[in-house]
Structure formats: C-alpha cells, structure tokens
Amino acid sequence: MKKNLFAVIGILIACSAFGQKYESMEDVNRVVDLTLDSLDKAATARPVAGSTRKGSNPVLFLVGNSTMRTGTLGNGDNGQWGWGRFAHEYFDENKITVENQALGGTSSRTFYRRLWPDVKKGIRPGDWVVIELGHNDNGPFDSGRARATIKGISATDSLNVVIKETGEHETVYSYGEYLRRFVRETRALGAHPILMSLTPRHAYVDGQPGRVVRVDQTFGLWAKQIAEELNVPFVDLNDISALKYEKMSPWKFGYHFYLDNIHTSAFGARLNCRSAVDGLLSCTHPEVQPLKDMMTNIALPTTGVKREKRKPVLFITGDSTVKNEDRDSTNGMWGWGSQAATVFNTKKLTVINVAQAGRSCRTYLREGRWDKVVNDLQPGDFVTIQFGHNDIGSELSGGKARNEISGTADSSHVYRVQTKDEVRNEVVYTFGWYLRKMIDDVREKGATPILISLTPRNEWPDGVHIERRNDSYGKWYREVVALTGVEFVDLHNITADVMDAMGREEAKSCYIKDHTHTSLRGAQINAKSVAKGLKDNRSPLAKYLK
C-alpha cells in the first residue's frame, strides 16, 4: 500500500514541480495518423539502418515523421509524399547514400523511444544524421498516441506518466531535451548531427493574407536554441519553405498539400526537399562543408536559352504539332514552332521552341521539361502553352502513362502506374488543371502566358468541313480561360477556317503520314494562324510580329 502511495505522490510531484502543471501543445493539425500503430508493416519498407552503405562511404540518415516519410510504406499510395523520398537526388551516390529512417506519426519522444535504438545500430563514425521532428509533439501525455512532449527546452523538467491503455510507466521530457539526446548520442557514435525546423503547414496567419504560419516561436525557436547551445548545424526549413510558399497564389500553395493541411503532395515534398538542400548550402557551420562537397544536381535545370540585352524571350511549349522532325521539307513532319521565325521578328524577340513530340501536359511536367522553362523565366517573357493531342485516352496508368482526367475540374486521382520502365504511384489531375498550373507558374515569374488551342486533325466528318473539337478540347480551353483570364489564341478554329476554304483535297498537302502531323506547308499555315490570333487579340506579343 505504501509503495503504491509513494508512486502516486511521485507522479503528482512530477506533474506539478514547484507548482507548475505541464500542458502539452494543442494538436493544430487535426490529422489522425495511425502509421506508428503499424510498426511491423513499416519495418518491411524502412531500410535496416546502415544497409545502404557502400563500402566505407558515409550514410546520411534522415530522422523525422510523416512530413519526411509519409504513410506506413512511404510509397505515395495515398497521394502524399515526404521530402525524404527525394533527398537522394541531391547527393552523389558514389560518395554517400541517403537513408530515410523517418516514420509517420512519430514525435521526438516516440521516435527516440521506439525507433532510435535501431537507427543507432547502423550509424558509424563520419555519418550524418538530419533530425526534423515536432509535428506530432502534441496531444495527451498519457493516452491515445501518448506522444506529447513538455513545451520548451528545459533540461530538468520531467513528467512521470502511466499510459492508460497499456499501464506502461514512462518519464516524459521537454522537446528540447529529446533533441539534446539525439545530438549527444549521434556525436557519441562519431557522427554529425544536423537539426532542422519543421515543414510549414498549409495555413496563413489570421488577418495577414499571404503570410504563411511559422513555428519561429515554438518548435523552430526551440530547435535553434538547442543547436546554438550544442554548437550543431541548424537549417530553418520552416522559414525557407514558407518564403517560397508566400510567392505563390493561394491555389498553388494549396496543391502542394494533399488530403489535409500537413502532408505534402509530390509538389510540396520536392519543394521542402529543395529547401533542405538550400539550407545546407547556405549553412556556414564548418561541420557541414564535407557534406556540401558530396552534393550534386545543385544548379536548377534550365532550357539553356541564350539571352540578349533588351530582348524578351518567347518559350514555345507543346507536342509534335509544335516541334517534330523539322528537317525534310518534302516528306518530313514539321511543327509550327519551327516556323516561328517566319512570323516573329527575331531581331526584337528571342524565340526558343521547347516543345517535345509525344508529350501531354502531364508528361511534359513529369519529365522536368516544364521546370526548365519556369526556371528560365524573367519578367517580360512570354510562354505559349499548347497541348491536347496526347492528353486524353486510356493511358492513365499504363502504356506511356501520359493521359489526364477529362475536363477542367480541380480534382485528381491516385493511380498505380505500370510502364515498361517502372511501377509507381502518381497523382493524376484533369487536363484543365495542368493548364491552370502552367498559367499560374508563368505569372508567378512575371511573364505572360498565352494559351493556344490544339491544331485541327485532317478528318472531314461530312466531307466538306474539317473536324472541330469545340465540344471537348475547345470547351475545356474556354473554361480555363474563364477561370484564369489568360490570353487565348484559338488556333484550332482559325486554321480550321483556312482548311475549310482550301477544301478537303488541297488540305491533304498540309498533313503527312497521318491525320495529325503537319507537313512544312501545314506548319507554316499554323504559324500564320498563331500570328493572326495574336493580332486579333491585340496581344502584347503581337508587337514582335513581322
């Protein structure tokens, strides 16, 4: 009886030391993450610590929660990705390997107790350990997930609890104290710890539109304080990513998350990963330099356009109807972009045709071609956006996996994509969604987007008039125009009018090999149609026409 009484008294003293009653952080995320309840399943996906090591090369271990590695399997099967999934892309695998040891649902407390002992078994002298925890350090201390930590960085505060569901006894420490233990134990193994603040949530500060909520007074501050106390490299991931989000439209900020306001889509995960890399590159702590020396793919990919003073650049994007073989003037297939110099004054405007045959909006984006354009953009530039021929069909999850969902709704679906090269999970959006994204990206850089409808196909349903797709693509283009207010050149109908006037027989000379791809003559007609549309619109790009 006395023993039980003393235990109760001890708990009461711990809970109210010096009259203080500990309160945990509020769970502002409101997200139920059951990953930690599936440790056995997660173990089949998380690598054995140190197993990726090549010879005597170091390993970069990533310690974190679902914002670093989402879901039990971490494979994006729910459309969510953690930034750790992409970290290996920035390191030379011949010098260092990256192991994502993060697990969704963990706090600094639960990771330290349940996962850290196994991670330590794989750490060797010269390794690196990035620690980014805190999103789940909230809720009750002694029930449910029982993962909350004491606020702040106190090294002396502690709380003895009994987990209600299991009867397990545990001493809970402050958030900062758990970080100290990660750091000290990493160093004891001869490795290098790096602390990072949390990834941002999808939330703006009340009353401050466009201002992203920070953790600079809580977890971000506490992690920075521990880093300064122990002389550890610190990367303010929260602020670096938040600054990028604040340059975006609210719509774009939103699609960097998926299903909730904490877990990122592939877009958000890649952004956070790049922010982590940017933070490491700018970190002046001497311990980080050897890690910087092992980085790769640091420069942002670009189109390689050569700029001239006082000359804006026109980037022409699209598929094979815009850029094709563009060689044989007699029997070859040509895209209208190859004939841009016949309608644009290249003494005043630099024109670069970055279209690619066989691409849809989705694959143009997935292959990184669109990112190259965006990275090159400067205020005053122009971008024409013309897709459609490869966008709608049955290749949503198989074949070339290039088709999108029909329409323009702001919706999506996760597909298990199986191609001859790989099997992966991918979020696929509507045709109109991709167009909206491209338009929004261009505007964000201060450039001018111009939407161009797809070229007409050499199909004559009634024998007199060429096929028009005004009830599908035409309708979707116009819906995007209504949503965005983007300039629109209806090349489809402008060229169709020309073809109708020519007649079916003469129009045959404008196509080659099939009903879609144009001959040199057809490409030149389409280029003239673009010019006509720009003039009719009184477009700012029209002043660069011949």
Q: Which positions are annotated as active-site residues?
A: 320, 514, 517
Closest CA to 58 of 232, 192, 184: 192
Residue pointed to by tokens 């720009």:
534
Instruction: Tell me if residue 254 falls in helix, strand or coil.
Output: helix
Q: Which two tokens stand for residue 60?
A: 């970069």
Q: 216 near 242, Cβ under 8 Å?
A: no
Q: What one-letter code names the amino acid at 533?
A: G
Q: 219 near 212, Cβ under 8 Å?
A: no
CA 110 to chain centre: 28
Residue pointed to by tokens 């545990």:
170
Q: Which two tokens stand for residue 98?
A: 């990256």
Q: What one-letter code names the amino acid at 504?
A: R
H or E stretch including 414? strand 412-418
Q: Which two tokens stand for residue 250?
A: 């609210």
Q: 214 near 223, Cβ under 8 Å?
A: no
Residue pointed to by tokens 């939103």:
254
Residue pointed to by tokens 């890690």:
291
Q: How many helices (H) and strands (E) does the chain have?
A: 17, 14
Cα(110)–Cα(121) distance, integer angstroms: 17
Q: Which two tokens stand for residue 217?
A: 């007074």
Cα(350)–Cα(312) distance, integer angstroms: 6
Phi and psi based region of residue 342 (left: phi greater than 0; alpha: psi -120 to 50; beta: remaining):
alpha
